[in-house]
Amino acid sequence: MSTTELELDITGMTCASCANRIERKLTKLDGVTAEVNYATEKAHVSFPEATTTDDLIRTVEAAGYGARLPEPANDDRERHLRTLRVRLIWSIALSVPVVLLAMIPPLQFPGWQWVSLVLAVPVVVWGGSGFHRAAWTNLRHGAATMDTLVSVGTIAALGWSLYALFFGTAGMIGMTHGWSLLATHSDGSGSIYLEAAAGVTTFILAGRYIEARSKLRAGDALRALLDLGAKDVAVRAPDGSEERIPAERLRVGDEFVVRPGERIATDGVVIEGASAVDQSMVTGEPVPAEVGEGDAVVGGTIGVSGRLVVRATRVGSDTQLAQMAHLVEQAQASKAGAQRLADRVAGIFVPIVFVLAAATLATWLLLGQPAASAFTAAVAVLIIACPCALGLATPLALMIGTTRGAEQGILIKDAEALERAREIDTIVLDKTGTVTSGRMSVGEILPAEGEDAAEVLRIAAAVESASEHPIARAIVEAAGAGIPAVSDFRSLEGLGAQGIVDGRAVVIGRAQLLDQWAASLDDDLRARFDAAQGTGATVVAVAWDGRARGAIAVSDTIKPTSAEAVRELRALGLEPVLVTGDAEDPARTVAAEVGIERVIAGVLPADKVDVVRGLQQEGRSVAMVGDGVNDAAALAQADLGMAMGTGADVAIEASDLTLVRGDLRVAADAVRLSRRTLGIIRGNLFWAFAYNVAAIPLAALGLLAPMLAGAAMAFSSVFVVLNSLRLKRFH
């Protein structure tokens, strides 16, 4: 049965238990799975054909919340933030006098309690209206959330105060004898809690405002990333004339002009001109890269110097920029295992708190304590216990960490990748394109006796022209123009390739491949073949019509940053292992230069999976870094797959992390960022749990006044926000 996936924007959530409740409602539908993220306010839903989008939206609405398909505008969240700010400012202005009058006896004048009542009622009723509205909505659906706790607690405090003022002993004294000072009696009938009702509302409003502002700002970098594309573009017509059109009208194959200072409208290949291009928005690399004819460019980057003519190769949602944004959003919608536990706790937390509050009230009364003291302790329990911090612990840190990673050229696929990154102790590095530049060049042509070197290169290039392998590209570039056509091309994984050129059956690749074709190298060619390999070059043999005709030595340059990257990986406690399909000698030459001790050479693509699996069977937790099609299976097998963004799409799809910049040091940065983000998440969860474990008993024992409980509860959410924001400073 086929399924469809989509995201819904969710409105009306106020805590983790709201998200948990919506998730439960959605998953009760046949064949539907859902993950609801409180921080991003989105639901990622997978559903069968029998279920419609309207069914999903109605289910969310039936639970008392709002749902809609995603919209690019962010006006609703901005408007909600402005509303919260206005309520908070007025609540602070009205609450401060109430708190000061209650806490500082010298300020208390005759009738001060009635002034406090006039000031406190608007705060509780209007300032806290969002809590009361949500609590009523949930009550109608037979549910309870954090808003229920706050609403019941503040209304109870206000209600008790009204009773004390109008019907209690002290209240009667005040009404009978005019503006007399309210006295608190031992039976508690004269106690008022206006400062608690107003203070708690204001503190929680402040926490809610900071939380909403942080959630909104945490996504700013991602939204900025999506806005980086050019708005219009100069398209070149076949006659050389130019026309400016909206960028969204570009099509694959269109040629467009990029002048200095302009953004490149979409992904493409330079067909004319040269320029330095600022690619920092996708790679995190501050130094502009020089590009010329034949080089690929990424939409959203900026041409710094010369004029370019670019042929569009990808448009719309297929561009690298769009795919980066999609990966970041996908990661932000995911949940770590620890967060799933927190969500389950939050789902049952509120009912437990009501039971604890009722038990607190009953216990105090049974022990013969004053009703006011029993009431105070029960209200404090209601207010102190809030699952908000639990709900924010993972998603907010994940939002900031993944967005910061995108700014640095690191794309994290999901939260589980972060958890795996913490455990890895071994990192497998593919050689070509990862440790080395992958930009190979022909160094030497070794013709067999009686053969022409140019002809060997020409025939080899004809076969390799159908391949995307770096060695193949180097041979084709060396041959230049005049390469004949190839037919019946076939790639032989890890061994080479074959095809028909000018009516001749040609094979090119390893010496073993020629042995299989009964076209082995003669002694002289074998000696020169081995000597070239000994210099660190990769050597491929060429044969046709049943005879070895020569060999071509291709060399690759080690990236200047690879040695430093290996040192950084070792400093993180990882053992690097170099894996390559190349022969032993060139592989060890490269490994020695960058500081890698363990080398596994002559590995076929299928064997890379076996190498990773073998390391895992040794008890190691393995990360794999690669960039080619032949790395995809090993990337998927590894505990943590890291694909170079300069590589093949299938490798990127199979990986857990994508390193946009072709610099191995980014792999070390990715591990550091993953570990830092997961550390922040675990710290958030620890303090969120520890806060409730410590605070609820204090409140139940009467050691925490309701107003202080409200302040502590708001601070728990603020702490999670501030702790998560530390990730913005990651470099």
pLDDT in tens, 332-379: 555 555 555 655 665 577 788 888 889 999 999 999 888 878 888 887
How far is Cα of residue 127 from the mean position of the Cα atoms in its chain? 35
Retrieve residue 85's tokens.
Answer: 């700010």
Distance CA 184, CA 526 (A): 104
Q: What is the pLDDT of residue 126?
A: 94
CA distance 492 to 381: 70
**Token duo for residue 147:** 């808003």
**H/E stretch holding 478:** helix 470-479
b (16+ CB within 10 A) / e for 149-159: bbbbbbbbbbe
Active site residue 430: yes
Would strands 575-579 and 598-600 be described as parallel, antiparallel, or unpaired? parallel
Query: What's the whole-number mean pLDDT along residues 511-518?
Result: 86
730 vs 652, which has greater pLDDT? Answer: 730
pLDDT at res. 105: 81
Does residue 162 or residue 75 have the better pLDDT? 162
What is the band of 177 on the pLDDT scale with cuts at 50, 70, 90? very low
Inter-axis angle of helices 194-218 and 388-407, nearest 10: 20
In the prediction, which pLDDT does 219 show? 55
Residues in CB range of 165: below 8 A, 6 or more apart: 113, 114, 117, 171, 174, 182, 192
**pLDDT of the residue at 167:** 77
Please provide the distance, in angstroms rounded to a whole number, between the alpha carbons at the two ends of the chain: 45
Overall size of the chain counted in residues: 731
Going 239 to 245 to 249 to 250, the CA torsion angle's sign is positive
Three-class secondary structure of residue 54 per DSSP: helix
CA dist., res. 698 & res. 717, Å (int): 19
C-alpha distances in angstroms, 195 versus 67, 88, 97, 130, 610?
37, 16, 9, 19, 68
Beta-sheet pairing, 232-236 with 255-258? antiparallel
Please give the angle made by the CA atoms of 486, 446 and 473, to the nearest 5 degrees. 40
What's the pLDDT at 158?
A: 87
- The pLDDT > 90 percentage for the chain reads 13
As given in the structure block, the two tokens for residue 527 are 């000696």
- Alpha carbon 559 to its chain centroid, in Å, reads 28
H/E/C letters for each residue in 660-720? CCCCCHHHHHHHHHHHHHHHHHHHHHHHHHHHHHHHHHHHHCCCCCHHHHHHHHHHHHHHH
CA distance 459 to 507: 10
Separation CA 668–CA 567 (nearest Å): 9
CB atoms within 10 A of CB 524: 11
> How far apart (Å, rounded) are the C-alpha atoms in residues 539 and 137?
73
Residue 179: pLDDT band by 50, 70, 90 thresholds? Answer: very low
Separation of alpha carbons 131 and 659, rounded Å: 44
How many whole angstroms separate alpha carbon 608 and alpha carbon 605?
Answer: 5
* Catalytic site residue from 430, 631, 656, 669: 430
CA torsion angle 257 259 263 267 (round to 10): 40
Contact call for residues 308 and 346 (beta carbons, < 8 A): no
For residue 619, give the nearest of 465, 424, 476, 467 by alpha carbon. 424
| pLDDT higher than 50, residue 147 | yes
Dist. CA 35–CA 20, nearest whole Å = 9
CB atoms within 10 A of CB 579: 27
Q: What is the pLDDT of residues 383-409, one digit of tens each?
A: 776 656 666 677 777 778 877 877 777
Q: 544 pLDDT band (50/70/90 cuts)?
A: very high
SS3 301: coil
Is residue 174's pLDDT more than 50?
no
Residue 453's φ and ψ, nearest 5 degrees, are -60, -40
Q: What is the mean pLDDT of residues 285-291?
A: 69
Q: What is the mean pLDDT of the chain?
A: 79
Q: d(Cα 533, Cα 612) in Å, to the nearest integer?
A: 26
Q: What is the pLDDT of residues 447-471, one digit of tens each?
A: 998 889 999 999 999 998 888 777 8
- Do the beta carbons of residue 369 and residue 294 sit within 8 Å? no
- 702, two tokens: 């009467």
Element (H, E) at 80: helix 75-103
Give the model's confidence band at 214: pLDDT under 50 very low, under 70 low, under 90 confident, else very high. Answer: low
Q: Tell me: the pLDDT tens digits for 689-722? A: 777 778 888 888 888 777 676 667 667 777 887 8
Give one DSSP letter per residue of 227-260, joined into a string. Answer: TTS-SEEEEEPTTS-EEEEEGGG--TT-EEEE-T
Handedness of CA 74, 76, 79, 84 (dihedral sign): negative
What local confidence, expressed as pLDDT, does residue 44 receive?
Answer: 83
- The helix (H) or strand (E) run that includes residue 562 is helix 562-571
Average the pLDDT over 555-559 and give the result: 80
Lookup: tokens for 406: 């995108």
- DSSP classification of residue 63: T
User: What percent of the chain has pLDDT above 70?
Assistant: 82
In the chain, count H helices and then E strands.
Answer: 26, 26
Averaged pLDDT, 41-62: 87
pLDDT at 574: 93
**Res 74 pLDDT > 60:** no
Backbone angles phi, psi at 130, to 5 degrees: -60, -40
Is 157 strand, coil or helix?
A: helix
φ, ψ for residue 414 (rounded to 5)?
A: -160, 170
CB 697 within 8 A of CB 189: no
Which is more confident, 102 or 326?
102
Residue 7: in which H helix or E strand, if any? strand 3-11
Question: What are the distances in angstroms from CA 384 to CA 34, 199, 330, 379, 687?
Answer: 30, 13, 34, 9, 14
Mean pLDDT over 22-45 rounds to 84
